[in-house]
Amino acid sequence: MEQAPYTNQDLDVETRVEDLLARMTLDEKVSILKGKNFWVTPPVKRLGLPSFGMTDGPHGVGPHSSGWRKSTYFPTSISMGSTWNPEIARTFGEALGRETRASNRHVILGPGVNIQRSPMCGRTFEYLTEDPFLNGELAVAIVEGVQSTRISACVKHFAANNQETRRMSVSAEVSERALQEVYLPAFKAAVTRGNAWSVMACYNRVNGVFGCENHDLLTRRLRDEWGFTGFVVSDWFATKGTSGAASCLNAGLTLEMPGKLKNKYKTGQVIAAVQGGDVTMATLDEHARRMLRAMIRTGLLDDPARVPAGVKNVPAHHEIAKKIAMEGMVLLKNEGNLLPLDAGNVGSIAVLGPNAGKKHGMWGGSSQIRAQHEITPLAGLKKRCGTAVSIVKNPAGAGAAIVFVGLNHRPGNDSEGMDRKRYDLPAKQEELILDTVAANPRTIVVLVNGSPVGMERWIDKVPAVLEAWYGGMEAGTVIAGILFGDVNPSGKLPVSFPKQLADSPAHASPETFPGGDKVFYREGIFVGYRHFDTRGVEPRFCFGHGLSFTTFGYSDMRLDTTTVGAGGTVTATCTVTNTGTRPGAEVVQCYVRDVEASVERPDKELKSFAKVHLQPGESRVVSFTLGKEAFSFYDETKGAWVAEPGKFEVLVGASSRDIRLSATVTLA
Ligand code: BGC
């Protein structure tokens, strides 16, 4: 018998898809647009098409969605955001792809690229940053890494899903300019540059329309403007509030998940909708085509020996988890160079606080991970200290005291389905910090959490603070490594830490967060540092901030031109030197300020960055090439991106508030 073209893996994807589609009955096409159960689509046995499977989530393969097995527990996304390192993001994506394959799934439900609009969003830890540019750079790298293993990334949650309160119904009332400049860029980059094979539609409504039946998002932007060739899957149960299958199918929602339970894509009803003309055959075919394309892209019909092999829980992946933690932890404060501690000299350390011995992997909602091992801070310290340093409980008289505070994944903290209840740390933790520092001035606070926390009650009294985030399975090893100087921290905050919640732009009133039936994004584009820097509000720690055990000098800023013409670019170069005594890495950040604009623009916007690793005394020339996009804003009256002629400042620095060099360029 002749081989059917769709099974021939030497043919191109589109030929195979069309061949397979042409062989399918209406029933069969409809059957693959919904789950068979929670995680997989039904097989089409007649054609030898197996089930196609999905699994959570953004920082490792979730046990709940792939047979309760163990997998590598990578640091959570905010930690990845703090690395500012697309290379690590790509390597991580590849490892995640291989773990997904080893779990018998074809889609990993991540990355999560919703903007960190408020510190109180329960899922801030699952998202990367408050900045659209950093978000896009990391998202593209993760998507490319995952898909290099022929596993589909699934960029979520499209769009404006920036809170958990009433997530199944709330309407994010957001301006077109804010969508274009803040909330959509990472989705767009993941599709146009990363060629993401799938996108997850959000639970919430966007300007009144549910993500799952939002033609404007799913068809006009995603398909028509961005050229998306993949499939859109509903967030789990997100079709619930929609007006039904026809509306979702016509809007561009391909796959409804999960299956069975009260779903809208009921075979009989979808077929009736097609036969009755509510959904055209062309629309249905297009959805089936998109599912088949994903199946063929991910090797569902191929000889496993010719598909990138799956592997999970291997030392190489654990090593990547460790690397992300090493580059993702952020040294927020280090007065008098209290850190690093000298293991040969300190004698003893007091270890205190609720997060010293706590594991976090198995919590966190859909992004939970069943880790093969998870090194707690205490375990990491015990190993590092060995017999050289004794670990005690009483801070008084100890060589230093380390207090592990922060949050956890319990409801009301960093958790899915509910937003945080309190911006400051629990009062008991604040008291523990204050008592400890009163007993021992050499107190270091280590924060283990996934979103900004208030520190005003204690920050001025404490000399050193390390933001460790949820650092994955090797968190404790890395924390101990930083505290004792084996690891030089190089993370930078991907999000601003307001002093108090009222300073946060999303928290102007209850209508702006969490809202009721609607939540009003009245701050518009002024999210994160765009707000703090433009409105002159001082955050506790600014976007891009992070210290090192070495120091970096910035010099010799040059532009290759002072005038940029239509279609032109400007390249800024500068020299960065490690002026200290330890090897270290610096994230060199390049912002643009529009000096004269016809609309209100942020004080500055991140447009490029580079992470450079330097030996003591070593210098590196860093360059940033800026094209028209770097100077543009979204003009609502014209309905287009516009780069206005005039002066712009190119600012280069170590954080959004530590600008070291600048130069002026004119857009002709
Ligand atoms: C979450 C998604 C997740 C899905 C499947 C939903 O509740 O919002 O992020 O991928 O469940 O577990």
Tens-digit pLDDT profile for residues 82-135: 999 999 999 999 999 999 999 999 999 999 999 999 999 999 999 999 999 999
57 lines ligand 1 (CB under 6 A): yes
Confidence bin at 260 (pLDDT 50/70/90): confident
Tens-digit pLDDT profile for residues 139-182: 999 999 999 999 999 999 999 999 999 999 999 999 999 999 99
Residue 65 CA, closest ligand 1 atom number = 12
- Cβ neighbors of 119 (< 8 A, separation 6 or more) are 420, 423, 451, 452, 453, 495, 497, 498, 501, 504
pLDDT reported for residue 235: 98
Counting ligand 1 atoms within 8 A of each CB, the residue from 65, 108, 233, 235 with the most, and so the one to mutate, is 235
pLDDT reported for residue 69: 94
549 lines ligand 1 (CB under 6 A): no
Tens-digit pLDDT profile for residues 352-361: 999 999 999 9
Structure-token pair, residue 626? 């800026």
Nearest to 61, CA basis, from 53, 50, 324 = 53
Q: How many beta carbons lie within 10 A of that of residue 337, not counting itself?
A: 10
pLDDT reported for residue 1: 67
CA 211 to ligand 1 center in whole angstroms: 14
156 lines ligand 1 (CB under 6 A): yes
Residue 274 pLDDT > 70, yes or no?
yes
- Cβ neighbors of 621 (< 8 A, separation 6 or more) are 573, 574, 575
Three-point CA angle 639, 642, 647, nearest 5°:
155
For a pLDDT cut of 90, what percent of the chain falls above it?
Answer: 98
CA–CA gap between residue 64 and residue 355 (Å, rounded): 25
Mean pLDDT over each residue of the chain, to the nearest integer: 97
- Does residue 528 contact residue 131 with C-beta atoms inside 8 Å? yes
- Does residue 178 contact residue 524 with C-beta atoms inside 8 Å? yes
Nearest CA to ligand 1 atom 4: 236
235 lines ligand 1 (CB under 6 A): yes
Query: What is the pTM (predicted TM-score) of this model?
Result: 0.98
Mean pLDDT of the region 53-64:
96
CA 198 to ligand 1 center in whole angstroms: 14
Mean pLDDT of the region 580-609:
97
Counting ligand 1 atoms within 8 A of each CB, the residue from 152, 154, 366, 368 with the most, and so the one to mutate, is 366
CA 416 to ligand 1 center in whole angstroms: 9
Residue 156 CA, closest ligand 1 atom number = 9
Nearest CA to ligand 1 atom 3: 366
CA 49 to ligand 1 center in whole angstroms: 26
3-state secondary structure 235-266: CCCCCCCCCCHHHHHHHCCCEECCCCCCCCCC
Tens-digit pLDDT profile for residues 219-241: 999 999 999 999 999 999 999 99
CA 458 to ligand 1 center in whole angstroms: 36
Task: Tell me whether strands 330-334 and 464-467 are parallel, antiparallel or unpaired.
Answer: antiparallel
- Does residue 37 contact residue 258 with C-beta atoms inside 8 Å? yes
Residue 110 CA, closest ligand 1 atom number = 10
Residue 629 pLDDT > 90, yes or no?
yes
Nearest to 77, CA basis, from 165, 5, 139, 3 = 139
Mean pLDDT of the region 302-325:
97
pLDDT reported for residue 364: 84
63 lines ligand 1 (CB under 6 A): no
Helices (H), 455-581: 475-483, 529-535
Residue 261 pLDDT > 80, yes or no?
no
CA 236 to ligand 1 center in whole angstroms: 6
Mean pLDDT of the region 583-602:
97
Residue 438 pLDDT > 80, yes or no?
yes
Catalytic residues, which ones?
235
113 lines ligand 1 (CB under 6 A): no
At 444 the three-state DSSP class reads: strand
CA–CA gap between residue 139 and residue 95 (Å, rounded): 15
328 lines ligand 1 (CB under 6 A): no
